[in-house]
Chain A
Amino acid sequence: MSKAAEMATGRPALDIDSLSYTYAGAFEPVLREVSLRVEAGEFLVLAGRSGTGKTSLLRAACGLIPHFHGGEIEGKAMVAGRDTRRSGPGELADVVGYVAQDPETQIISTTVAAELDLPLRFRGDHPAERARAVEEVALALNIPHLLPRTVTTLSGGEMQRVALAVALVTRPPLVLLDEPTSQLDPVAGDELIWLLRRLNEEWGVAVVLAEHRIERCLAAADRVIAMEQGRIGFDGGPREFLEYAIATDPALATPSARLFSCAGLDPLPVGVRDARATLRLRGIQPGLEPGEDVDEPGEPESRSTGRALRSKALWVELDPGDGPVDVLRGIDLEVEPGELVALMGRNGAGKSTFLRTAAGLIDPVKGKVETPGGIALLTQNPGDYLVRERIRDELSGPAGEAALEAVGLLLDPESDPRDLSGGERQRLALAIALAGRMEGKELPGLVALDEPTRGMDRGLKDGLSRLATRLSERGAAILISTHDVEFAVTFADRVVLLGDGELIADAGTGTVLSGGWYFASEVARVLDRPGMVSVGDGARWLDTTLRGGQA
């Protein structure tokens, strides 16, 4: 009998009772009197703003708290009948799989195949069982081509898929996932959620999934928990959660729920299919009527004659360890000052490589890329820019002050960068990249950010979006590589789509992110109207249509 089947005989997958926890050296508890019971075979989504205790709750459920992080703990957490105060993460390894936020610290072995094999070896499985399990999980997650790869050559998204595969390879009855889709492209993200649902339905695997992009997983969830300041603020079904979110913190709600709320429609939809069904009941047919003619979505206008970025027949070759590979293949791209551009594409499409080549970190093998007004690039880990213990030591003088002002940071120069919030650290890192590249208050021609929304809730993403707009209004072109379609809708007026190193689409946000299955916003997938991608546009159209007017 498998562990999952064993657990299905009545024992809860996870039983947390009045759990409070304070990290070592901290003054405030991160978890306060949390009680939660997850039944075997349940699919639970953990929602909440950044810093509300989601990650700590998951760590407590797999034994890392208190065994690895120390601190003070009250109450108890039982996993498959084992008390996490007595059983450490190693002893719980056969009953719980955990995927943490940062995939880079979760990959241990030299190759992907060895990484997947390792937990099975530790468990003492027979070689034949190990080989089968590795093959199965690789097929399920669509990563068989990665098996022989050296882990140091994987992109962030590939690492995330591998980390997930490792958590699933032992077929644990409970899987805990902390933002597992944050670095996955929309296709891989959706596939992952439905894979989890399939494992959940077919094998009774209990899933606890912490996620900011709630629209991705809500339709698959049986139940939603919303964390508020270390406490459980809400516990109920997905539709009730949306009502709670719209009433208390709309940033937690899905775009389609906000769309319906703005348009005064109810019930709030749990997913695209639900939304379209409700619209049909109201007599609104998603998509264009036969013969209906709409204006093509407007293309962004350049606000300046100068060029911020010019890439001509750009070819870049990198060696992942087993010979050189063409990562970028003949990219032609021009970006004007003041433009807000989202660089999108599937994992491994070459987005980061393009940005790094533009910043001069990689030499092209053919063609060229130029940034006539200079470039400031913020890479995926803002913490890498922060090497000193005082802000004053990182940035000083007029150049530093101008850069801090440009990113809207007003901080005590004596404060330690490590004490800043995630959003503030990111802005400080961007200020460090900008410092000295500005002429007075004039920004460099191109400000580029590589996957900046990892671990951010919607409130923080909106803040980043406002910052991007503000910088573009001051004349800089903004180029942000992202997998987050909803974030791209909020900031970008142009989307460049890469596919396997080639530029496959380059047009206005409304054109690229509507009418598709994956590279489309949730509003676009609900309404299916050309160019209609944002909640605001969709709500206006719905409002007009419901009043009987012509949109």
Chain B
Amino acid sequence: MKRLSPLAYVPRRGTLQTASLAPVGLYLGAYLVLCFLSSDPVVLLAAAIGAGLTGFGCRADRAVWFSVRLGLLLAVSMVLINVLVTSRGATVLARLGEWPILGQVNVTFEAFAAGGVIGLRVLGTMVVIGVYSACVDPDRILQAVHGVARRSALTATLISRLVPLAATDQARLSEAATLRGPGATPVGKVAMAHRLLAGSLDRAVDVAATLELRGYAQSSGGTKFKKIPSRYDTRFWVAGSILAVAALFSIVMGAGELVTYPELRYSPDPLSVALAALLLLAGFTTWRRGGRRDVQGR
């Protein structure tokens, strides 16, 4: 018997787990789109926290904390990289002289801020993906993909299984990394990420082959997947729609625009504060009356 990866999907009677794919896609998609499109740090932070609340509401605590750790690690890396490769910005904090390849390196406050925004974006994205991976049944995704990409098992595998495969591989590789002798070269983050990506893609190809063997691409017209209705669909339709409209509106209106270069200019306007509050509030959509104890495992 194995220990589960924090990102592995576990069938539970939680709201996200039992809701249909379309409203869940709209709801989580709204968070994801905001993480990609917004450059407002308040909104990005609220999106990350809101996505985390979503996960907590469905007992995906391990996935949330794992994603936060991974997201923070990547965020710090983003800040450091941006600080080193971008010398733009009027407020110079330190002059580090000539570096090989990078040339003259000046650490500026603006580069810190710009890196921080990218980091927040990555953090929010990681949390959304973590919650999606732990709470959305890959079988439902496969069924949805089968309707639109019937001929390509590889496409279906990459969409529905890449994250679960990567999660499983990550758990196994991490375990092997801890079992390496102290005299072996430690597995650095880069080597691990490289191996994980290559390994997951290889395994995705194997899984796609299996899907082909199961008859994924056979042209039977009778293949119908029964839609399982859920009483939580409405709340996700509503929350997702409100979030999507609010996000679109705030982006069109240019709310909370952050200008980083040459000088940092940012003032959170009421619209971005309202959007942030909405993102936090929407995070409770997955929570049920009676508290989290209500959400029992099967």
Q: Which residues of A contact B (CB under 8 A)?
A: 62, 64, 67-68, 88-91, 93-94, 98, 100, 102, 104-106, 108-111, 114, 118-119, 121-125, 148, 150, 152-155, 166, 170, 318-323, 325, 327, 348, 350, 353, 356, 359, 361-362, 376-379, 381, 384-385, 387-388, 393-397, 399-400, 402-403, 432-438
Contact = CB atoms under 8 A, between A and B. Distances in A.
B4 interface: yes
8 contacts: A90-B217, A123-B215, A381-B172, A384-B176, A388-B191, A436-B181, A436-B182, A437-B182
Interface residues of B, number: 57
B88 to A, nearest CB: 36
A90 B215 contact: yes
Contacts of B4: 150, 152-153, 319, 321
A359 B214 contact: no
Nearest to B146: A122
Contacts of A110: 9, 11, 137-139
B216 interface: yes
A119 B191 CA distance: 37
Given A108-B161, A321-B11, A437 B183 contact: yes
B223 A122 contact: yes
A479 to B, nearest CB: 14
Contact of A123 (B9, B176, B213, B218): B218
Given A121-B223, A321-B11, A400 B184 contact: yes
B180 A93 contact: no
B222 interface: yes
B184 to A, nearest CB: 4
A153 B181 contact: no
B33 interface: no
Nearest to A170: B215
A432 B212 contact: no
B144 interface: no
A354 to B, nearest CB: 11
Given A148-B298, A388-B191, A327 B176 contact: no
Interface of B: 1-5, 8-11, 137-139, 142, 153, 161, 168, 172-173, 175-185, 187, 191-192, 194-195, 203, 205-218, 220-225, 297-298
A476 to B, nearest CB: 13
A433 B181 contact: yes
Contact of B212 (A68, A350, A436): A68
Contacts of B205: 68
B239 to A, nearest CB: 25
Given A111-B11, A394-B185, A432-B184, A122 B215 contact: yes
Contacts of A362: 3
Contacts of A123: 215, 218, 220, 222-223
Contact of B187 (A68, A379, A387, A433): A387
Nearest to A430: B181
A359 B210 CA distance: 34
A110, A319, A361, most chain B CB atoms within 10 A = A110
B210 A399 contact: no
Given A88-B217, A90-B218, A152 B2 contact: yes
A443 B221 CA distance: 62
Nearest to B161: A108
B14 to A, nearest CB: 13
A432 B216 contact: no
Contacts of A152: 2, 4-5, 8-9, 168
Nearest to B168: A152
A106 B10 contact: no
A437 B11 CA distance: 41
A361 B176 CA distance: 10
Contacts of B192: 387
Given A118-B214, A353-B1, A361-B178, A400 B183 contact: yes
B154 to A, nearest CB: 9
A322 B213 contact: no
B138 to A, nearest CB: 6
A125 to B, nearest CB: 8
A442 to B, nearest CB: 13
Contacts of A109: 138-139, 142
B9 to A, nearest CB: 6
Contact of A318 (B3, B137, B176, B215): B3
